[in-house]
Amino acid sequence: MGLFDFLKTKDTVPYEKIYEELSAFTEASLAMPKMNNPFLLDDKNKHAMIFGYFMGVMDYIAQTYQLNEKDILKIRTHYLLKNFTDNDMEQAQELLKYCDDIRDTDDGSNYALRGKLAMKKWVAGGPMAAYAPMGLIKILND
């Protein structure tokens, strides 16, 4: 390691690309459940499933882009603000805490794993990619 290697930073995080990927996958994942129940996000009994699943999606993104904790927090906050809280920062902060609490449960870990695998299929493309967002409806129907 050279004297000035500590000054080097990794490549710039492609935030816009990540936000687009997350938004597209979220929209596709929520489309079918919302058709069945337009008030899905209001059903508190389903929140652990929904947010556990999407935390797994973000885990995949964090792993793929090799994000540090600061970048992960920034992306998670932006994601929740834009997709679930209508840009309400206070609600987003509460939801971040809620998501962390979910992750600490066995069920939440399972939902996160299923979300992570769904996002992996989505990004990989191919014939199965179109079915990847159906992972959420499968969880909700179990």
CB 108 within 8 A of CB 90: no
Site of tokens 């816009």: 16
Token output for 46? 């389903």
CA distance 99 to 37: 22
Ranges of the chain whose pLDDT falls below 50: 1-9
Q: What sign does the dihedral 142-46-97-83 (CA atoms) show?
A: positive
pLDDT digits (tens, 9 = 90+) for 83-120: 999 999 999 999 999 999 998 999 999 999 999 999 99
- pLDDT computed for residue 2 by the predictor: 46
Note the pLDDT of residue 40.
78
What's this model's pTM, rounded to 2 decimal places? 0.86
Eight-class DSSP state of 9: -
pLDDT given at position 4: 45
Residue-level pLDDT at 1: 43
Tokens of 32: 């079918």
Residue 47: predicted pLDDT: 92
d(CA 60, CA 67): 10
3-state helix, strand, coil in the chain (%, to 5): 80, 0, 20
Check: CB of residue 113 under 8 Å from CB of residue 56. yes
Quote the pLDDT of residue 10: 52
Assign 48 to helix, strand or coil. Answer: helix
